[in-house]
């Protein structure tokens, strides 16, 4: 303890912590803050990359065109109904 610097609390509580302990606390806090704030956000961006690049919108338009074309083909194959009302 003779070669470690002791940092005294400035608030008058006269509590001394070794410098190594403070460095370890700073390291742990930095890791936890990084895990809380940055990593979930980056994971969200990675998981939803297709949305942000427009690939999802392109797929939706492709499927809408397929549905429309299928509907057109089905409507052309059905006989037209006519109403013959004789009065």
The total of structural domains in the chain comes to: 2
Residue that has been written with the tokens 């606390």 in this structure: 25
Q: Kindly report, residue by residue over 18-27, the tens digit of the pLDDT.
A: 888 889 989 9
pTM equals: 0.43
- Check whether residue 37 and residue 69 sit in a common domain: no
pLDDT (0 to 100) of residue 1:
47
DSSP summary character for residue 6: E
CA distance 74 to 81: 14
CA distance 16 to 86: 105
Across the chain, what does the average pLDDT equal?
A: 80
- Check whether residue 6 and residue 33 sit in a common domain: yes
Residue 20: inside a domain: yes
The enclosing H or E element of 7 equals strand 6-8
């Amino acid at each position: 303890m003779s070669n470690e610097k002791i940092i005294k609390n400035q608030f008058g509580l006269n509590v001394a912590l070794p410098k190594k302990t403070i460095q370890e606390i700073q390291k742990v806090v930095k890791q936890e803050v990084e895990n809380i704030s940055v990593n979930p956000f980056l994971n969200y961006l990675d998981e939803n990359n297709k949305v942000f690049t427009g690939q999802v919108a392109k797929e939706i338009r492709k499927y809408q065109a397929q549905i429309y074309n299928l509907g057109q083909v089905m409507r052309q194959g059905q006989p037209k109904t006519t109403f013959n009302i004789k009065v």
